[in-house]
A and B are shown apart, each in its own frame.
Chain A
Amino acid sequence: KAGVTQTPRYLIKTRGQQVTLSCSPISGHRSVSWYQQTPGQGLQFLFEYFSETQRNKGNFPGRFSGRQFSNSRSEMNVSTLELGDSALYLCASSGTGDQPQHFGDGTRLSIL
């Protein structure tokens, strides 16, 4: 069974630009969550999508948004990039109920 796939693996952008990250969950998983990991703040929850609807949201500004498609694939968008957005962005998928989340390899975003 293929794991969670995130693309691209690495991304370099400049301040003010926007970026879109993609995540394909494990087959059969309908829940997709996004996290930001930085050395200073650790792993922080951004949002979760289930059946194309945002089900939970973390404490991030509106510049961070996401969506989910009917095949459960998800995208995350960050607009007006700031230096502080440099981080590892992780996507995780899970099945129904309390099934644990499995993470993809992440997208490392660097803002110049």
Chain B
Amino acid sequence: QKEVEQNSGPLSVPEGAIASLNCTYSDRGSQSFFWYRQYSGKSPELIMFIYSNGDKEDGRFTAQLNKASQYVSLLIRDSQPSDSATYLCAVSFPGTASKLTFGTGTRLQVTL
């Protein structure tokens, strides 16, 4: 069974710090990796996606992918209270790009 694992948290970081969110996946055939942010009572919002090994940066967000170790991470620089949410890691496989397998999410709390 293809699994995606995340620490449920909460991960608490002070405002202005770097938040590091991690995700591991079980299937080496995994091809595409996504991070979604979900505020309480809202739907998931796409934050980052990464397909190749290495880092991908977009503003305050950096996604890191290491296929050999089967993990993907999300770094949030200069964390703000508005970043407080649940972050969902999702994975897709070749030929099933629109069938995402989600982790259970990590709850991030950014404290003042």
Contacts and interface: CB of A to CB of B under 8 A. Distances in A.
Interface stretch (A13-21, A60-68, A90-98): A90-98
B44 A98 contact: no
B46 A45 contact: no
The prevalent SS among residues of B at the interface is strand
Contact of A100 (B31, B42, B49, B105): B49
Contacts of A106: 43
A23 to B, nearest CB: 12
A56 B39 CA distance: 28
Interface stretch (B21-29, B53-61, B71-79, B91-99): B91-99
Interface residues of A, number: 26
B96 A56 contact: yes
Contact of A105 (B36, B42, B49): B42
B87 interface: no
20 contacts: A42-B102, A42-B104, A42-B105, A43-B44, A43-B88, A45-B101, A48-B99, A50-B98, A55-B98, A58-B99, A90-B44, A94-B98, A98-B32, A98-B51, A100-B32, A102-B46, A103-B36, A103-B44, A103-B45, A106-B43
